[in-house]
């Protein structure tokens, strides 16, 4: 989506729902028969055979719903956000950390 729409920033929502997971896996690609695919498979037959490639981040247990600064987030959450920003090439300007409108970290 970013390569087509050229985002200038991201809005990451529901970061709080990841609280309590010991690890957070992010799929960064797919392989089939030990060979990395260049793009997401268009065929369901191929998709049934692929193995996801994950990058794993340390989770967190702290309640983040009251946090309003990026620096206040647990290190695992900060690392997760930094990875997304690096991969996308744009900053996560808004990060939702709770259910209400006020539950937002704004950079």
The pLDDT value recorded for residue 2 is 78
Secondary structure in 3-state letters for 43-97:
CHHHHCCCEEEEEEEECCCCCCCCCCCHHHCCHHHHHHHHHHHHHHCCCEEEEEC
| 7-20: pLDDT as tens digits | 899 999 999 999 99
| 71-97: pLDDT as tens digits | 999 999 999 999 999 999 999 999 999
- What is the spatial distance between Cα 2 and Cα 54, in angstroms, rounded to a whole number? 21
Confidence band of 102 (pLDDT split at 50, 70, 90) = confident
First-to-final CA distance of the chain: 22
């Amino acid at each position: 989506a970013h390569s087509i729409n050229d985002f200038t920033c991201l809005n990451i929502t529901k970061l709080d729902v990841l609280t309590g997971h010991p690890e957070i896996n992010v799929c960064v690609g797919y392989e089939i028969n030990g060979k990395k695919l260049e793009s997401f498979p268009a065929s369901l037959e191929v998709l049934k055979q692929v193995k996801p490639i994950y990058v794993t981040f340390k989770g967190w247990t702290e309640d983040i719903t009251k946090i309003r600064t990026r620096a206040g987030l647990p290190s695992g959450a900060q690392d997760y956000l930094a990875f997304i920003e690096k991969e996308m090439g744009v900053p996560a300007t808004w990060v939702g950390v709770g259910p209400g409108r006020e539950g937002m970290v704004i950079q």
